[in-house]
Amino acid sequence: MNFPSKLNLLKGTKFAWLCPLLWALFKCAAISAPTTVEVFLHHEFGARSGKALLKGFLLLIFVSAISNLAAPLTTVNLSQYLTVAYVGAAIGHWVASQNRTGGEHVHSYSHGKPWSIWRKVPVSTATVQQYLEPAICCIIAHILSGLDPVFAYWLFFSGMALFVKEQVVRAQLRTRRLDLLDNRIEAQQIAPRNRPEVDPFVEARSVPPHRPVRGRQR
């Protein structure tokens, strides 16, 4: 979605380009932010997820640079450790996705599925991805806010972006499922019928009793 010109507070000035630029940067960050936490929360990434993993890495480089500028406010620079851990996890996911053979097919653009430890919790996979994983990110961000505020803010932002992403994905899947059902019904209505609309009525009559044929007497 492009930035609406009516909301551009700098419209008519030489800095009118600034608001659309900031909006584009925010949109890119919101799209790539979930990937920076999904590499730790999921496994079995798709074979074509490399582009998304690369975008997440570039985004973490930017966050790490901001964290370095705010070094006096931090006790421990956790953003650098996050970037290093992300690189290791992303490479592992990508290599595994390229060398996967046999078994169940994984969507090539998939960002993975929750770890098997969640099977011990009596909740569905959708609930884990939509609510529990974003909540974990926000809780950890609150705990670490005293050590590295920049890292905590980023982790909280990533958790909220993950929450919004999962809601959008579920809504899109539901829309596609309904579209498939609607298309199937419409195809059945349009396709020519091989059978007549009304089956011909055949009157059933009882079979007369069998009478033996007697031979002619001589």
> How confident is the model over 98-122, as pLDDT tens digits?
988 777 788 899 999 999 999 998 9
Dihedral sign (CA 44, 50, 52, 58): positive
Burial of 150 (0-12, 13-18, 19+ CB in 10 A): buried
Res. 201: pLDDT tops 60: no
Q: What is the mean pLDDT of residues 146-159?
A: 90
Place of tokens 């997820």: 49
pTM of the predicted protein model: 0.77
Burial of 110 (0-12, 13-18, 19+ CB in 10 A): middle
Give Cβ neighbours of residue 180 (< 8 Å, ≥ 6 apart).
Answer: none
Contact 42, 92 (CB under 8 A): no
Q: How far apart are CA 55 and CA 52, in angstroms?
A: 5
Q: Per-residue confidence at 143, pLDDT binned at 50, 70, 90?
A: very high
Strand blocks (E) in the chain: 42-43, 113-114
Which tens digits make up the pLDDT trace of 18-33? 777 777 778 888 889 9
Q: What is the mean pLDDT of residues 2-15?
A: 72
Q: At what angle do helices 50-69 and 149-190 cross, to 10 degrees?
A: 160
Strand blocks (E) in 44-200: 113-114
